[in-house]
Amino acid sequence: MEYIDIINKIKEYDRIVIFRHSRPDLDALGSQIGLAQAINKNYPDKEVYMVGDSSNRYAFIGKMDEISDDFIIDSLAIICDVACKNMVSDERYNLAKEVLVIDHHENSCDIENAISYIDNSKVACAELIADMLMTLNLDITSYGATALYGGMVTDSGRFQYAGTTSKTFLAASYLFSKGADMDFIYNNIYVETLEQREMKNYFSNLYQVDKESGVAYLFCTKEVMSKYPNIPFFDISRGMVNLMAGVKEVVIWSNFTYDKESDKVIGEFRSRGVTIVDIAKKYGGGGHPFACGATLKDYEEARLVIEDFKTLVREKRKENGNI
């Protein structure tokens, strides 16, 4: 499948509904909003809506729509930034005439009868969409460009993570030429309240480092989570994992957060230079080579993951003493 096939599919439909994964990050929301804005701009006669659960953290970027089942039945469903059916927010994509998946994750698509465009050379789904628009000479509103830029900035860790390529910067350049508002994104993402800073200080004192292997882990247990009843889960689970990043001695870092909704432990895993996604997959999860996660039964299982990380680092050190 090529970019033009995505656009031709969009052209076939008057009604389009854009989905993405639950607990959205800015790449999921930015991809949705950016794609909707691009369709509106280039094909103004089409009706485009976005659905899914809301995010406190990223509410600044825009709101989702309320739409009826009847509308979806006549529509093309486009699912952004996810290709696993159990991670899609709002399962009504099942009602749509056709389903098109646009994603950049490693996992292959398990959504039945969906057409999929998956490119895991893209650091963000938003980069994929921006690259498509740029390649096909399509236009986008400045709001849409800002949303896509936000997705690229966050999924690439401000163009720092592995996976950022020369094409990422070309896509960013395209978005700037369409009026992307960098300050709006940075002021909403990188400015925090005193309370947030103090919370980070608390979690910074909580993580453990196994110095022998260079594996760090944070256990945000039920007791720990009960100290922050009003903080969205995501702000701790993903928000705190990188407190352990950028430490010379730490090669793999992980955050295991108790989720009271599912009574499970959500693992977020990160690494510098060591591929860890296979361990995430072993525990039923997935993601990117150096940034992935898995849902675990309990902290006993979390300890098994940590042991696997330690073994992995030891094995890698046998191959390459510089790790």
Helix axes 142-155, 182-189, angle to 10 degrees: 50
Which of 238, 262, 263, 251 lies closest to 306, judged by CA?
251
According to CB under 5 A, which one of 36, 50, 125, 243 is a site residue for Mn ion?
Answer: 125
Q: In sequence order, what are the residues at sequence separation of 6 or more whose Cβ sits closer than 8 angstroms to the Cβ of residue 184?
A: 146
Is residue 155 near Mn ion by the rule CB under 5 A?
yes
The one-letter code for the residue type at 60 is: F
Nearer to Mn ion, 29 or 252 (CB): 29
- Which of 26, 77 has the CB closer to Mn ion? 26
- Residue 63's Cβ-count burial label (10 Å; 0-12, 13-18, 19+) is exposed
Q: Which residue is nearest to Mn ion (CB)?
A: 27
Binding mask 187-226 for Mn ion (x = CB under 5 A): ----------------------------------------
Q: Which is nearer to Mn ion, 81 or 268 (CB)?
A: 81
**Residues 32-71: x where in contact with Mn ion by CB under 5 A, - otherwise, as a string:** ----------------------------------------
Tell me whether residue 106 or residue 181 sits nearer to Mn ion (CB atom). Answer: 106
Structure-token pair, residue 320: 């390459």
Query: What is the residue-wise DSSP string for 93-135?
Result: GGGSSEEEEEE-SSSPP-STT-EEEE-TTSS-HHHHHHHHHHH
Among 81, 90, 131, 308, binds Mn ion (CB under 5 A): 81
In the bound state with Mn ion, the residue whose beta carbon lies nearer, of 125 and 302, is 125
Q: Report how far residue 112's alpha carbon sits from residue 92's, in angstroms, rounded to the nearest whole number.
A: 13
- Is 131 among the residues that bind Mn ion (CB under 5 A)? no
Closest distance to Mn ion from the beta carbon of 72 (Å): 24
**In the bound complex, what is the minimum distance in angstroms from residue 105's beta carbon to Mn ion?**
7
**Smallest gap from residue 81 Cβ to Mn ion (A):** 4
User: Least distance in Å: CB of 83 to Mn ion?
Assistant: 11
27 binds Mn ion (CB under 5 A): yes
Separation of alpha carbons 267 and 255, rounded Å: 6
Which residues in 82-112 are b (16+ Cβ under 10 Å) and which e? bbbbebbbbebbebbeebbbbbbbbbebebe
How many Cβ atoms from other residues are within 10 Å of residue 208's Cβ? 12
Nearer to Mn ion, 125 or 279 (CB): 125
Which residues would be at the binding site for Mn ion (CB under 5 A)? Answer: 27, 81, 125, 155
